[in-house]
A and B are shown apart, each in its own frame.
Chain A
Amino acid sequence: MQLKNTQREANLSTQTNKVDNQNKTSIKSKLTMATCALLQAGAPAAQAETGDWNVDAATLYYSEADGRVSIFEPVVNVSKQINEDEYLKFKLVYDVLTGSTPYGAVPTTTTQTFTKPSGNGNYTTPAGELPLNSSFRDTRVAGGVDWTIPFDRLKNITFGGNFSKEYDFNSLAASATYAQDSSDRNRTYTVGLGYTSDTWDPVGGKNPELTYMRIGGTDQNGKGGTDSKTTTDFMLGLTQVINRSTIMQFNLGFSNSSGYLTDPYRFISVLESDGTLTPDSNIPTDARPYLYEKRPDTRSRNTFFWRTVHHLNEDVVNVSYRYFTDDWGINSHTLDFRYRYELGGSHYLQPHLRYYTQSSADFFANYLLESNVATTDFISADYRLSEFVGTTIGLKYGFEIDKNSEFTIRTEFMNQTYTVQDEILAEQQGLDIAPDLNAVIFQVGFNIHW
Chain B
Amino acid sequence: MFRILLITSVLSLSACASVQPWEKGLLAKPSMALVADENEIFLDEHIYFSKEASTGGQGVGGGGCGCN
What residues of chain A have their CB less than 8 Å away from a CB belonging to chain B?
Answer: 1-14, 16-22, 24, 30-33, 36, 38-44, 46-47, 56-58, 60, 62, 73, 75, 77, 84-85, 153, 158, 177, 179, 181, 184-188, 190, 192, 233, 235, 237-245, 247-251, 253, 255, 301-307, 309, 311, 316, 318, 320, 322-326, 328, 330-332, 334, 340, 348, 356, 358, 361, 384-385, 390, 396, 408, 410, 414, 416, 437, 441, 443, 445
Contact = CB atoms under 8 A, between A and B. Distances in A.
Contact of B55 (A3, A31, A255, A309): A255
Contact of A248 (B12, B17, B25): B12
B53 A6 contact: no
A181 B1 CA distance: 29
Question: Secondary structure at chain A's binding surface: helix, strand, loop or mixed?
Answer: strand
Q: Considering the complex of A and B, which 10 residue pairs feature the smallest CB-CB distances, nearest first?
A: A188-B62, A43-B38, A185-B66, A239-B62, A305-B57, A31-B50, A58-B39, A42-B60, A324-B54, A18-B49
Contact of B64 (A44, A184, A192, A437): A44
Contact of B26 (A9, A244, A385): A244
Contacts of A57: 39
21 contacts: A2-B30, A6-B30, A9-B60, A9-B61, A10-B63, A16-B42, A16-B46, A18-B45, A31-B50, A36-B49, A44-B38, A181-B66, A190-B62, A244-B26, A244-B27, A247-B32, A305-B56, A311-B27, A311-B31, A330-B53, A390-B51
B50 to A, nearest CB: 4
A305 B31 CA distance: 20
A44 B57 contact: no
Contacts of A58: 39-40, 43
B52 A311 contact: no
